[in-house]
């Protein structure tokens, strides 16, 4: 949710100073989120990972302190430097990625509404995504399908305009939906004109209790197990015209341009992913940092052959590389977040760079942490094995590492590499 959109005034890069020194406000927010991550999230992480259930009590606690909600998200993205959102994400996911995703998974649906919706849709549906402090809700962004993961242009979910009823009719099955089925608001990407591929798609808001929407199979996952992931089945879901994001008139104009071979300007799924990639990268940095700090403390106190293992070059050099790679990943995330907030185009796929680097560093760093702990690193009594499981998805979801490399290669070469 850190990207600039039509309904969000960009900060001027010429008048917005860039500094690697955080402001007092940024440090205060960082410390506040870190306190919640350390005091509330970490003590509960193992339990909810084992239960593989949505941690509603922790979501409610986050809502009560003002960390979860549309007002909080608005505060985080309003920072003119663009850095507050990645800072918050890193700290929360440093606490635990599964619980972090349970808390922040809603932001993907909110980002879609914010980036593509009309002012009226933004005002009505983003608050509905979060519910209230007393009764928090979650939202789901539904794009992937059983046969359409990285290839979002081949979606089979169809949206048909029923002119007689003045309604959209949606049919299909979505896969890998965070909060799918348990969400109040579902944002569903569907194909209207399959011949146009991704240019023929649109995103729809499906309100709570809409007939025809149901949860399919819940996914039992390798990592992020405190975050609910499931299929979403849409069986003759009927929606009024105003629930297509951006409005039907603008959609019709966009489809007309695409049919004439002109630029469609944006694509329903990809524009959301482009906006959120730096934030996803920040989440991965948080996991990597957690593993690094734990391994560093362990190496200082664990003794073998009469001395702390950090005195061995093999261990010390591994930790040095971990610190270097994590800091490099964070800087790529911050650069992309700053560029997005100040309205600069990702001409060289800087958003993809940040997510790719951070995701691969998280997997690499957590594996090194396991190696430093030895047998203890492989045991579930120690958190590094959970961090390793949680890290792996960051090379897969919201664009696999291979897709990110493809995006970067196309951007730097100007060639449509396949």
- The alpha carbon of residue 298 and the mean position of all alpha carbons in its chain are separated, in whole angstroms, by 30
Distances (CA, A) of 310 to 168, 227, 313: 62, 35, 7
Query: How would DSSP label each residue in 175-213?
Result: EEEETTTT-SEEEEEEES-GGGGGGGEEEEEE-TT-TTE
Going by C-alpha positions, the residue among 143, 141, 119 that lies closest to residue 129 is: 141
The yes-or-no answer on residue 52 being catalytic is no
Q: Which residue is catalytic, options 145, 350, 385, 398?
A: 398
C-beta neighbour count of 321 within 10 angstroms:
14
Strands 139-142 and 185-191 come out as parallel
Who contacts 405 (Cβ-Cβ below 8 Å, separation ≥6)?
A: 356
* CA 231/CA 397 separation, integer angstroms: 15
Output the six-digit token pair for 171: 């049919």
Residue 211 burial by Cβ neighbours in a 10 Å radius (0-12, 13-18, 19+) = exposed
342 close to 11: Cβ distance less than 8 angstroms: yes
Which residues participate in catalysis according to the annotation?
Answer: 398
């Amino acid at each position: 949710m850190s990207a600039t959109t039509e309904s969000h005034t960009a900060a001027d890069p010429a008048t917005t100073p860039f500094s690697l020194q955080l402001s007092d406000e940024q440090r205060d927010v960082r410390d506040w989120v870190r306190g919640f991550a350390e005091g509330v999230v970490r003590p509960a992480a193992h339990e909810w990972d084992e239960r593989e259930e949505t941690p509603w009590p922790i979501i409610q606690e986050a809502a009560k302190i003002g960390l979860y909600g549309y007002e909080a998200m608005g505060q985080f993205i309003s920072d003119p430097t663009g850095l507050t959102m990645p800072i918050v994400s890193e700290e929360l996911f440093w606490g635990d990625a599964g619980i972090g995703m349970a808390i922040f998974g809603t932001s993907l649906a909110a980002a879609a509404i914010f980036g593509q919706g009309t002012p009226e849709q933004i005002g009505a549906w983003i608050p509905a995504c979060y519910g209230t402090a007393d009764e928090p809700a979650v939202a789901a962004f539904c794009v992937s399908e059983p046969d359409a993961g990285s290839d979002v242009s081949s979606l089979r979910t169809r949206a048909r305009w029923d002119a007689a009823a003045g309604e959209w009719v949606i049919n299909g099955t979505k896969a890998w939906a965070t909060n799918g089925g348990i969400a109040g608001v579902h944002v569903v990407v569907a194909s209207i004109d399959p011949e146009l591929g991704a240019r023929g798609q649109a995103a729809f808001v499906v309100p709570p209790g809409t007939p025809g929407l149901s949860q399919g199979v819940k996914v039992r996952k390798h990592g992020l197990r405190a975050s609910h992931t499931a299929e979403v089945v849409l069986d003759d879901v009927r929606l009024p015209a105003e629930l297509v994001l951006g409005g039907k008139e603008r959609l019709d104009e966009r489809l007309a341009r695409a049919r004439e071979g002109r630029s469609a300007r944006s694509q329903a799924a990809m524009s959301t992913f482009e906006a959120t990639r730096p934030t996803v990268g920040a989440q991965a940095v948080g996991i990597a940092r957690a593993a690094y700090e734990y391994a560093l403390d362990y190496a200082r106190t664990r003794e073998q052959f009469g001395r702390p293992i950090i005195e061995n070059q093999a261990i010390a050099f591994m930790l040095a590389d971990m610190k270097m790679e994590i800091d490099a990943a964070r800087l790529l995330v911050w650069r992309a977040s700053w560029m997005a907030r100040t309205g600069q185009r990702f001409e060289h796929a800087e958003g993809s760079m940040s997510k790719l680097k951070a995701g691969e560093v998280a997997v690499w760093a957590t594996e090194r942490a396991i190696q430093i702990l030895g047998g203890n690193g492989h045991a579930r009594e120690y958190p590094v094995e959970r961090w390793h499981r949680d890290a792996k998805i960051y090379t897969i979801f919201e664009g696999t590492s291979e897709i990110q490399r493809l995006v970067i290669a196309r951007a730097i070469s100007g060639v449509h590499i396949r």
